[in-house]
Structure 1
């Protein structure tokens, strides 16, 4: 980790209004006029969080359709003023803009805010500032190009096994603002610790960590992890470098541990460049035997050499690889990252093991659908980019690969060249299937390829039947599209459901 540099809070407007003091739930939030950018899920959570403080709230949204008007009616009932159809103009008298994560940094509203000297916060920045002065739940935070949701839910399962009041929040599940302001029956914070998933969009809007002398700002994350970094959302961030830098913001001000993937040098670089608190440790995780201050795998065991008395000579068994379901390599890596964060927080070995045993992943994440005539059918529809698909393809020795959809400008040469030894055949579908076909022709010319030309949702039945014809007993028919789904389906879940339904249709034929 690099030398820590201390910066000062930039939230001082040209008119002299200092917003640096708005750092807990006792601050005079009622004195502020806040412009909320977006009337969706995040925007509504901002309004819910601030309305109890008497903050003047103005919500702006560029849409003016039936759904937007329904959201506006809900927000107005909560006391906000809502402006639909104009998301570009900064309302008069605004002290701060709080943006929903998906708004691009080059949105005209933010340009107008910069010109007026009005700071822009994300919902996570606001949540940090609203944390209660006493008893605030520490944050264990996770980001990465792939695996975030699985890992944060694993972490929550481990924390629950430790008897802690927790919840997976942020980019998954409950909005972080709702969790921060939630109270228990006695009026205190409702959580002991939060498992926080953060997207690159959310991290972009975090302000840099600041320190203010004797009364300095408390550290940001108690512990944080970056699982992996591969180019994604480049249209939003502008470049791979900017995307990686935003991922690295999760480490800023980390208190106890910065967790990185030993198989991904970029994650280690982000740790080395992070500005953290004194005493924060770099903790690596990987699928090999761990070095000192690391977590890894020895034979069939998950092992911790980081949180032991003597990291040079000691190690402790956390769980068996078989305790992780599914036991695909990338999922075992997810389990190690979750365990590292939990152990940094002081969770026992027993709780790590029980939490991993209790955990089951969400749907459409390398989920076994059925076995038909000796062939396994696996739904990893969530693999919407090449990096995620590569992890799935590495998990099985002989695969009939179902792929295609919206490529979002991606190329697949590296993916195919890395996976060709695992491929028996490929069945391609969707708008940009030709891009994958061309990569297969260049790097795996001996792999049979079938293209399904239809672009309607019913085409998945044809896809699965063609895959079944190509598969042999012991093979895996793997839906790992490496592409987005919206050319044919409402979302990746609908795509996975269509795949599963078609597989179950095969079962009906076999009965």
Structure 2
């Protein structure tokens, strides 16, 4: 029998299990009925809460090999909730293993003391009044803020304002939106920001690469979680916010705010499976759709009608949906048009928006939008469709949407690491961050639209991907029918693998698929792989460089030596 704690953590917003903040346990369970384990845990939680005189509730989610179990708590008691949940787990494991019962009442009394020390009644009063006045309140370990953007005020958590001195009418929200999906998130937030700029709005962006307000990058790094959202919404310069929301952030903490005007789900495909109890793409789709819990009652969810997983998951929703599709005759596009609901599609090789409020609005020719590479980059046609729907939901002018689309390119300046093109020695080099089968397939399809004498490709795999995932990604690379395959090691992303384990495995797999051994080479890093690819290229070649690591170094190498 396996009963093992994986992780306990705080949930600060609506999440996969429910809409409440609290604590969550991820546990491994094997050789025993998981429901019986959950029942024992819940009974211990009940005993502890009764002793502590702290009424809360529990929920859980079972998955293959384990369970996630959550305990609700107010925002001023999340750490104690984690301690209660974990202690209840320890008691459950002891009981199920037939071990002697410990003095749990003493520990419960200690937890009650910890609860009283952690609780902040003044904070809860302000949060309740903010909700009553429809003012956005955001709290964390260190600070409380009211309002957003120019109207925001921030206080240290231990120096809260007097309720009687707050002028609730002084606080305002700014337009804000979530962007999530397996691929296309960062491109979408950047494009949306460019459109807002064309409308004269100083937009802020959080992403896996940086946090940015207007043209100023505040910091580089992964800001796709609640911390990045708080920082952006508390910045007085932010007039509109585009918040990238990644799978990991949703599972670790929940969504960062619960009142966005719109949300975009670009697509759902296999990626990062096996983490936090998410083992199937169907479960991953449920994670992505948590963003719908953050919509205001009048908010719009923008969804990809060309993605089967998105379409299936949307059947469970009851909210305003704007569908987008490359196919003007897609049944969901037709249905929305007939129901006077918004939709975005391609018609006569143009991007078109339609809703019950207006006639069809022809925005711009697809081929004129630089990021589509004259229509060759179908994944960016999809990204543009989604962002058009998002920006229309935020009531941005059509003219600004058009200008933003025309201004936004595939250069490293506009969209670093996403389909960037360089000229080198008469060859074309395409640099991209793609690191799962879905995104790699999109880039391979784009590369095949480019005129080429030969193809050279360099790619890598992170160590936490399953062998099946790695083979699937390799199958997509193989479709390029390249003249050289360069497999780079990622020492920063070994994640339990041995050095060169994956390059050797992928090399052997390619050869089993019929690729000659002489056409395959393993190198110690993406930078080494890029240098090798450049040394092999001839005029008229197309080089496709998939760079999960050392992207900036490779970019510098290319701009230093480009034609």
Which TM-score applies when normalising by structure 1? Answer: 0.63
Aligned-partner Cα distance in 2 for 1:233–1:347: 34
In the alignment, structure 1 residue 220 sits paired with structure 2 residue 290: no
CA distance in 1, matches of 2:251, 2:309: 18
Q: In structure 2, do the counterparts of structure 1 residues 204 and 409 end up closer, same or farther at CA, with 3 Å as the change threshold? A: closer
What is residue 94 of structure 1 aligned with on the other side? 118
Gaps of 5+ in 2: 1-17, 24-48, 57-74, 82-113, 121-137, 153-167, 213-227, 490-499
The answer for the alignment partner of 1:316 in structure 2 is: 362
Q: Which residue of 2 is the match for residue 164 of structure 1? A: 201
Instruction: Give the distance between the partners of 1:500 and 1:207, measured in 2 at CA.
Output: 34
Secondary structure at 2:267 match in 1? coil
Residue of 246, 255, 259 corresponding to 2:302: 259
Higher helix proportion (structure 1 or 2): 2
Matches within 5 A, 1:95-174: 95=119, 134-169=171-206, 171=208, 172-174=210-212
The Cα shift of 1:200 comes to 1.2
CA distance in 2, matches of 1:337, 1:127: 33
Contact 2:424 2:561 in 1 (8 A): no
- Checking the alignment, whether the CA contact within 8 Å between 1:413 and 1:443 is kept in structure 2 is no
Find the partner of 2:371 among 322, 325, 345. 325
- Give the TM-score of the pair, scaled to structure 2: 0.57
The equivalent residue for 1:358 is: 407
The superposition leaves residues 416-440 of structure 1 with CA deviations (integer Å, 9 ceiling, x where unpaired) of 4455443233222223223433443
- The superposition leaves residues 158-213 of structure 1 with CA deviations (integer Å, 9 ceiling, x where unpaired) of 12222233211365415211222233xxxxxx44431111111222356699xxxx
Equivalent of residue 288 in structure 1, options 310, 316, 327: 327
Change (3 A) 1:123 1:368: farther
Q: Which residue of 1 aligns with 2:431?
A: 379
* Matched residue SS, 1:394: helix
Aligned equivalents of 2:429 and 2:439: distance in 1? 18
> C-alpha displacement at 1:232, in angstroms?
2.3
Whole-Å separation in 1 of the counterparts to 2:250 and 2:201: 26
Larger radius of gyration: 2
Give the C-alpha shift of residue 273 in structure 1: 1.9
Match of 2:507 in 1: 437
Alpha-carbon spacing, 1:446–1:259, altered in 2? closer, same or farther (3 Å): farther
Aligned mates of 1:135, 1:321 — CA distance in 2: 40
1:234 aligns with 2:273: yes
Does the residue aligned with 2:368 lie in a helix, a strand or coil? Answer: helix
For the pair 1:480 / 2:546, whether they are aligned, the reply is yes
Instruction: Report the aligned-residue RMSD.
Output: 4.0
Q: Residue 202 of structure 2 contacts residue 240 of structure 2 at CA under 8 Å; is this kept in 1? A: yes
1:440-495 deviation per Cα after TM superposition (whole angstroms, max 9, x unaligned): 335464797321344595454224323x1xx662x4200025xx4xxxxxxx2xx2
Cα deviation, residue 359, structure 1: 2.4
1:202 maps to which of 246, 249, 258: 249
Number of the residue aligned with 2:441: 390
1:246 aligns with 2:295: no
Change (3 A) 1:472 1:427: farther
CA deviation digits over 1:319-377, x for unaligned, max 9?
5432232532212211111111000111121010111222243322211122423x201
Q: Distance in 1 between matches of 2:347 and 2:518?
A: 37
**Quick one: distance in 2 between partners of 1:417 and 1:275?**
38
Uncovered stretches (5+) of structure 1, i.e. residues with no partner: 1-6, 19-30, 38-89, 97-120, 184-189, 210-217, 485-491
Number of aligned residue pairs? 376
Tell me how far apart the structure 1 counterparts of residues 80 and 195 of structure 2 sit (CA, whole Å). 35
In structure 1, the partner of 2:163 is: none
Q: Are the counterparts in 1 of residues 434 and 546 from structure 2 also a CA contact under 8 Å?
A: yes
Partner of 1:449: 519
Q: 1:226 to 1:366 in 2, by over 3 A?
A: same
Rounded Cα–Cα distance in structure 1 between residues aligned with 2:80 and 2:429: 45
3-state SS of paired residue (1:499): helix
Q: Structure 2: how far apart are the matches of 1:201 and 1:127?
A: 24
